[in-house]
Amino acid sequence: MGNNSNLQAAKNTKDDEFYTTYETIEKELVHYSAHFNDKIVLCNCDDPFESNFCKFFLRNFNKLKLKRLICTSYVTSTVVATQSRLYDEQSKPLHKGQGYVLDVEKFCDTDDEISEEVVSDFLSTSRHIKKLNDDGDFRSSECVEYLKIADIIVTNPPFSLFKELVSLIMKHNKGFLIIGNQNALTYKEIFPLIQNNEVWTGYQFGDMKFRVPASSEPRNTRYWVDENGQKWRSLGNAMWLTNLDIERRHEQLKLTKSYSPDEYPTYDNYNAINVRRVIDIPYDYDGIMGVPITIIDKYNCEQFEIVGEANHGSDNEYDLFKPTVNGKELFKRILIRNKKAKAGGVSMYRILDLFSGAGGFSYGMEKNSHFNTEIALDFNPKALETFKHNMPNTEIINGDITNAVIKSKVILESKKKKVNMIIGGPPCQGFSLKGKKLGLNDPRNYLFNEYLKIVSELQPEVFIIENVKALLSTSAGWFKDEIVAKVSAMGYYVDYGVLTASDFGVPQSRQRAIFLCSKRKKVCLPTATNNTIVTVRDAISDLAYLNSGEGDFELEYTTKPASQYQKDMRKGSTKLYNHKASNHAEIAIKKLEKIPPECGKEFLPKDMLGNQQFSGTWGRLKWDDVSPTIDTRFDASSNGTNNHPFLNRAITPREAARLQSFDDRFVFIGQKVYIRQQIGNAVPPLLAKALADKIYEELGL
């Protein structure tokens, strides 16, 4: 949780006025938009003049469809009227040493976000601010009356008064979203609310920076003064606490470790095991476990039960014992029980990804919380660098599957990690008319056979073979039949067919042959999950602003998402990566300039056609259709239909990744030539997720 000596010192001296940045508020509030429609919002620990909470809600007043905004200021506020001269409803200047309230029921006539300049003008001229009779303390009778009429309380209270504010809010049964310190989670006023699933943490849980008043004392750490003389503090254990329902509280924590007495010692004075880190919670232990208090940020009441806490002598009735192991005192712990523990059974599909590439197959599988990739093997170190960056908990093995040492390592590590599922797309160069004579014994199919040898050795519950569509139809299906016969002889049920990516929410027409093989029973391939296609416009219209040569590896978002797909792709991403356009030659740009939006090479004059033999070259993507298959040369303007619908450039790696259904959190590492291979060769994650969902639906755990 971090060192809290500075925070405790602040509390002791009541030096705990921490002013939240606009960026911190905006980053959290974006997840709660639906909650504010036609609601009265109260910011009851905020200067209505310079508070970023006030500014945020004014700037988004109409966009959030607020009914009313109320902001109150405490009499001793140290920042009132320090940045501009302000006036109350009687045109009298505002001064320090008074409690004030801002009360707004209508603001501007636009439904868009309102500029900061308009907000500043409004605050300085609107006369919506008035003096309070009391001092503005949120506990005063005057402020409590405002609380009674409010629907949602949003604020950053002094940390020393955090529990009092929460108690007051709960007493009056109000919705809230407030900032506090993580240690408050174990307070006797807060912990029961967590335990009873009445409140939970928000999206930001950890480092946050805050403006502090000029009177704040310097600190040895997490303190600085900027070039304007403004003092700043940061906390490593800040949090948002709320009772507004959010998507993340329903996500289940992936559990990948198995219980062993040696790794999980029992407490000296209580029948519970100690779990050092949240990621180490065993999936197969159904007794009480002591875990770090950060479990609350991952807590799902459908997955876990909170039993109590283990602290060092608080007056909390839920504090059951002092956590010690072999006489050594440990930091405070939350006591939980796994409701879904399956001792000795399968509680997770633990995957070995062969021929993994950059990890699209695994990344999609892991979008179902019951699947986790333990090991990934590939001969390409550049692709594995990207894999490890995005799925750091996976063990990476770089090498040739035909190498005896590598193969032995893969099998040994898979057994250690209890792998029970294998995925991969082994190359099958021998599946051609010339190869029919030898079939699976054709030496060109050695990689396919190595895949099946590992299946035979590990005997997974499930394995998936992914390959080119033509594999099923070559030689009138002869090779397909041979694969089914060999897999069936190994004792597996098989279903096979061609899956089209666009049927599963991928904005691309990509088709792949899939063999879904299971020990327990036949699992049929998934059927389409999307009734309508996700279009190129849905996928990348928010990125349509770079010209040839523009962009960078890391950028800020400069536009708002314009579709649900774009919102989904941005979820959890704070930066935009890999959005850099190819630096096309001048002749290429001139050709593209002659091709109208969404059209192709038919608009080029004969002297500019060149020697391309294929009709699809120099084509532009169609806004309201899916993309054709993304290949490994999508960044070349002459290669297929990879050019932007109207900009004079090929699509960027990020746009190609979106069309493959990689969300923006997935970052591709390496030079351009490696990145385009990683994207073009990948299994679309949403297609992989559909397979995972189907397996879990049919087989469960």
Active site residues: 428
Cα(315)–Cα(189) distance, integer angstroms: 11
Contacts of 381 (CB under 8 A, 6+ apart): 398
Which uninterrupted H or E stretch holds 307?
strand 304-310
Return the SS3 of 421: strand
Cα(343)–Cα(516) distance, integer angstroms: 27
Cα(511)–Cα(467) distance, integer angstroms: 9
Cα(536)–Cα(657) distance, integer angstroms: 12
Per-residue tokens: 291? 């875990």
Give the residue from 334, 331, 329 showing the smallest Cα distance to 186.
334
Per-residue tokens: 628? 């054709």
Buried-state track 18-39, b at ≥16 Cβ within 10 A, e below 16: bbbeeebbeebbebbeebbeeb
Cα(589)–Cα(638) distance, integer angstroms: 11
Per-residue tokens: 511? 């088709």
Cα(60)–Cα(55) distance, integer angstroms: 8
Give the residue from 417, 283, 390, 428 showing the smallest Cα distance to 343.
283
Q: What is the largest CA-CA distance in the chain?
A: 96
Local structure of residue 280 (DSSP, 8 states) = G
Per-residue tokens: 662? 């990689």
Which position has the token pair 């807590």? 299
Strands 511-518 and 493-500: antiparallel
Return the SS3 of 137: coil
Specify whether the CB–CB gap between 338 and 361 falls below 8 A: no
Return the SS3 of 160: helix
Which uninterrupted H or E stretch holds 449?
helix 446-458
Burial class (CB in 10 A: 0-12, 13-18, 19+), 302: exposed
Local structure of residue 650 (DSSP, 8 states) = B
Give the residue from 136, 130, 133, 132 showing the smallest Cα distance to 87.
130
- How far, in Å, are 1, 105, 428, 505, 692 from residue 109 at the CA level? 45, 12, 63, 37, 47
Return the SS3 of 509: coil
Specify whether the CB–CB gap between 70 and 102 falls below 8 A: yes
Cα(575)–Cα(672) distance, integer angstroms: 19
Per-residue tokens: 465? 């073979």
CB atoms within 10 A of CB 488: 12
Cα(638)–Cα(631) distance, integer angstroms: 13
Which position has the token pair 């310079």? 50
Per-residue tokens: 677? 């291979």
Determine the residue type at 669: I
Specify whether the CB–CB gap between 138 and 168 falls below 8 A: yes
Contacts of 91 (CB under 8 A, 6+ apart): 127
Per-residue tokens: 365? 């599988």
